[in-house]
């Protein structure tokens, strides 16, 4: 009624119909219908607007403008009233109206048109009427911004004729509706952060609250009370100082300002457009946000979104970031049996007790950090290029560090702990152009110390070095041979002469002399 009163007030003061429609934000057809109804009621320009204070006269005018569209109720309606309880139960059981019409004919023996049945179900039983909604207040300017994403267009066809689709992150401030569109190829956490950085630059500041939908790249677990936010996006929100208030699943009213924005951007911004690439799409969307949609009067606020934002919101935003954000890459790698986990196609070592565990990994430009299930840092590495390996010797057991790091000096020192000759023997084993290829032999040498003892091994190594016998297998056979024993005597000799290493008992050298039988030469045999 106030809208009609304002139109008539301006008309009675002598304003033209074009001016009235423009100032009131109405179409010319609507303004002319109001004026035509007033003329039929006996009004004309110049009479003054005192008659507009008469509520009864305005009520009669509204009745002429909006006459009742009810239809006369005939026999079909009375049939429906007779079987109202039956129809109501079927509707509660989610039976379709077309089926109810068939059941009425088959079970009740009555015929009624579908139009009448539907009109009865809607008018009398409330069929198809959803629950009423209460509009939520917009809140304070500069506080909230809503975020949505979806497919919005296609690129120009390439040489093969393929037209690749692209998405867009769409930002809409709750108060001004000043939209910002940022086209991307994929819906990822990285592109969402990149879009937010571009949005803060576009708006000249950061909003207090961001209301996104439940995209998997932003919300790890959707929950109306305690949603689990993606770690990468949560860290970014903390760095930029805004709060994340996710919308509920399948609750369009939680982000009503952007619920239809994807369709608007797809049809109005990129409809009929074929950008060459992502950069071309971003240039076009920026122009659309600034000059086209931003300077178009909004149907709800009746203000230009850009002017509305500059007048009431921009001064209330937090300062825009001065330095670009180092976008981290979060992942959940599994620690392999070799105590390394892969992050961004590079390998990083971890302590041995994390073998087989899944950890949270955060990689930025310079650093890779690993977190346990309690979100505590367990390891930090400098980031390396893909295909490289970053290993900390402290992560490995002491007995495996040398082999893993190819530390031949450590092995020599370890062997020297079992004797001076054992250390020299290890050095002789590693005396090669590629010493790390002989490290397994040194490990085998250390194993002989555990089996035969350090003292016996040291003596064997000393004897082997004297004859330049540098071979672990032959050294082992030497240790397997029991040492010779002296015969027991009543009195020990004054000086014990050590037996030669390869001396054999005399019996082995003695030959048994067996006389050969004499052969007689037969007589008469000249040969």
Q: Work out the pLDDT band at 86, boundaries 50, 70, 90.
A: very high
Structure tokens at 141: 């300017």
pTM for this model (two decimals): 0.54
212-239 per-position pLDDT tens digit: 888 888 888 877 677 888 888 888 999 9
| Separation of alpha carbons 73 and 82, rounded Å | 14
* Contact indicator for 147, 215 with CB cutoff of 8 Å: no
Average pLDDT on 441-449 reads 83
Q: What is the pLDDT of residue 285?
A: 94
Q: What is the pLDDT of residue 309?
A: 93
Domain 145-319's class? alpha beta
364-423 per-position pLDDT tens digit: 889 999 998 888 899 999 999 999 988 887 887 765 555 555 566 777 887 888 888 888
Provide, rounded to the nearest whole percent, the portion of the chain with pLDDT above 90. 27
Q: What is the pLDDT of residue 69?
A: 47
Q: Is 485 helix (H, G, I), strand (E, B) or coil?
A: coil
List CB contacts of 143: < 8 A, sequence separation 6 or more.
174, 175, 207, 208, 209, 316
Does pLDDT of 85 surpass 60?
yes
Q: What is the pLDDT of residue 193?
A: 93
Q: What is the pLDDT of residue 179?
A: 94
Average pLDDT on 242-250 reads 77
Does pLDDT of 483 surpass 80?
no
In the block, tokens 């001004």 appear at 176
Angle at which helix 114-123 crosses helix 84-92, to 10 degrees, equals 80
| Separation of alpha carbons 301 and 303, rounded Å | 5
Q: What is the pLDDT of residue 250?
A: 52
Q: Work out the pLDDT band at 496, boundaries 50, 70, 90.
A: low
* Contact indicator for 155, 178 with CB cutoff of 8 Å: no
Which of these ranges, 16-25, 267-276, 334-343, has the smallest mean pLDDT? Answer: 16-25
Strand partners, 362: 330, 369
269-327 per-position pLDDT tens digit: 998 888 999 999 999 999 999 999 999 888 888 889 999 999 999 999 999 998 889 88
Q: What is the pLDDT of residue 300?
A: 80
Contacts 24+ apart (CB under 8 A), 29-32: 31/7
Q: What is the pLDDT of residue 527?
A: 44
Average pLDDT on 477-506 reads 62
């Amino acid at each position: 009624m106030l809208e009609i009163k304002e139109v008539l007030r301006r008309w009675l003061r002598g304003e033209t119909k074009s001016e009235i429609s423009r100032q009131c934000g109405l179409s010319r057809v609507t303004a002319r219908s109001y004026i035509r109804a007033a003329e039929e009621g006996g009004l004309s320009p110049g009479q003054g607007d005192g008659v507009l204070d008469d509520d009864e006269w305005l009520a009669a005018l509204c009745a002429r403008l909006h006459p009742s569209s009810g239809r006369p109720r005939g026999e079909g309606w009375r049939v429906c009233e007779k079987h109202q309880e039956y129809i109501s139960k079927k509707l509660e059981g989610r039976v379709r109206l077309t089926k109810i019409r068939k059941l009425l004919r088959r079970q009740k023996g009555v015929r009624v048109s579908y139009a009448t049945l539907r009109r009865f179900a809607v008018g009398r039983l409330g069929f198809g009427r959803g629950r009423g909604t209460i509009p939520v207040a917009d809140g304070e300017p500069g506080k909230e911004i809503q975020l949505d994403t979806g497919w919005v267009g296609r690129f120009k066809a390439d040489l093969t004729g393929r037209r690749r689709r692209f998405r867009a992150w769409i930002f809409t401030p709750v108060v001004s509706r000043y939209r910002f569109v940022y086209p991307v190829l994929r819906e990822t956490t990285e592109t969402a952060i990149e879009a937010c950085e571009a949005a803060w630059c576009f708006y000249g500041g950061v909003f207090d609250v961001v209301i996104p939908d439940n995209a998997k790249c932003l919300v790890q677990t959707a929950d109306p009370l305690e949603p689990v936010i993606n770690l990468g996006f949560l860290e970014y929100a903390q760095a930029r100082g805004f709060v994340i208030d996710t919308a509920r699943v399948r609750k369009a009213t939680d982000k009503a300002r952007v619920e239809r924005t994807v369709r608007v951007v797809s049809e109005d911004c990129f409809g009929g457009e074929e950008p060459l690439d992502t950069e071309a799409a971003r240039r076009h969307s920026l122009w659309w946000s600034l000059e086209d949609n931003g300077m178009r009067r909004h149907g709800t606020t009746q203000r230009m979104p850009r002017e509305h934002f500059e007048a009431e919101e921009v001064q209330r935003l937090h300062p825009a970031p001065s330095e670009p954000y180092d976008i981290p890459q979060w992942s959940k790698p599994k620690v392999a049996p070799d105590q390394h986990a892969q992050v961004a196609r590079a390998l990083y070592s971890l302590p041995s007790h994390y073998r087989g565990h899944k950890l949270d990994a955060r990689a930025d430009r310079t650093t890779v950090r690993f977190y346990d299930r309690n979100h505590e840092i367990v390891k930090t590495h400098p980031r390396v290029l893909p295909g490289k390996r970053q290993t900390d010797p402290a992560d490995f057991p002491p007995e495996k560090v040398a082999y893993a790091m190819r530390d031949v000096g450590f092995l020599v020192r370890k062997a020297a702990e079992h004797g001076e000759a054992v250390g020299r023997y290890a050095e002789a084993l590693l005396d090669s152009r590629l010493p790390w290829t002989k490290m397994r032999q040194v490990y085998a040498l250390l194993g002989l110390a555990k089996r035969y003892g350090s003292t016996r091994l040291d003596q064997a190594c000393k004897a082997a070095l004297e004859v330049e016998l540098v071979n672990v297998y032959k050294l082992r056979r030497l240790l397997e041979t029991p040492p010779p024993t002296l015969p027991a005597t009543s009195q020990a000799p004054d000086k014990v002469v050590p037996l030669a290493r390869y001396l054999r008992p005399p019996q082995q050298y003695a030959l048994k002399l067996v006389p050969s039988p004499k052969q007689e030469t037969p007589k008469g045999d000249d040969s």
